[in-house]
Chain A
């Protein structure tokens, strides 16, 4: 039964038009990832300059830098891996490499989605606390 299912499975072969469209995503994913990494480097430079100049909020700045850099690095690396695996898959006609690229694309969107969920939850919490504070103030 399983053997029959696998045999009957529908597959899509990438033709040259599809490959061209995927190549466009490969190129732009690489650009986006590299520019994000440059941005992270600039943030590090700003942190160092702030440290030298004696920024009074250095601890908060370092904490913010660590969080934003970790997120930025995960996103950029996954985008870069999508780009390189997809390129390898298309150039060497290797389906496994192409699936690896799709896996990294999935991780990229998953990380972004989870971050959005956290941000939405925080916003809802802030809104609830704001409503509670209004009710308490009105009651007093």
Chain B
């Protein structure tokens, strides 16, 4: 489908070499995505196991390190929910990163096998979502680095 306002002489085309490059990017992105999804799953399992045995872990820490009663109260109260919040956030970030990368990988592979324009469109949509998430995470990382730097200086 060529738009009427586009020059017929100068158009960007994707041929086999372009498709190969996109498919190769997609393969690596899919591998990274699957790793992220596995990490997210492991994080969830470890969190559930830790949460189920929190009393046992807190008592073990108390015996080994001589944890104070105030620390134990915090760990069993607000600390527990803070831990859940941090873990949930990490899980969401890993899951979304993995999901976008896997979808990008699948769409680019689909495009290079079927030459379907909508698959190509989907691959760039998921790539842009991944890049948006990466940018947001980079901003959070930069802000926390600046705050830590200002605090320690």
Contacts and interface: CB of A to CB of B under 8 A. Distances in A.
A92 B120 CA distance: 21
Interface stretch (A57-65, A99-107, A132-140): A99-107
Given A9-B15, A12-B14, A93-B11, A24 B28 contact: no
A95 B124 contact: no
B21 interface: yes
B55 interface: no
A102 B13 contact: no
A93 to B, nearest CB: 4
Given A14-B12, A35-B135, A95-B13, A24 B145 contact: no
Given A35-B139, A102-B22, A46 B149 contact: yes
Contacts of B11: 13-14, 93
Interface residues of B, number: 45
Given A32-B138, A116-B32, A93 B7 contact: yes
B14 A14 contact: yes
Chain A interface helix/strand/loop/mixed: helix
A76 to B, nearest CB: 10
Q: For B17, B21, B145, which residue has the most chain A Cβ atoms within 10 angstroms?
A: B21
A102 B104 CA distance: 14
B142 A42 contact: yes
A133 B124 CA distance: 47
B10 interface: yes
Contacts of A127: none
A18 interface: yes
Interface in A18-39: 18-19, 21-22, 24-25, 28-29, 31-32, 35-36, 38-39
A98 B28 contact: no
B82 interface: no
A102 B125 CA distance: 15
A109 interface: yes
Contacts of B138: 32, 35-36, 39
Interface of B: 1-3, 5-7, 10-18, 21-22, 24-25, 28-29, 31-32, 35, 111, 115, 117, 120-121, 124-125, 127-128, 131-132, 134-135, 138-139, 141-142, 145-146, 149, 153
23 contacts: A13-B11, A15-B1, A15-B117, A16-B6, A17-B121, A25-B128, A28-B131, A31-B131, A32-B134, A32-B138, A35-B139, A42-B145, A42-B146, A46-B145, A49-B153, A93-B12, A102-B18, A105-B127, A106-B24, A106-B28, A109-B32, A110-B28, A113-B28
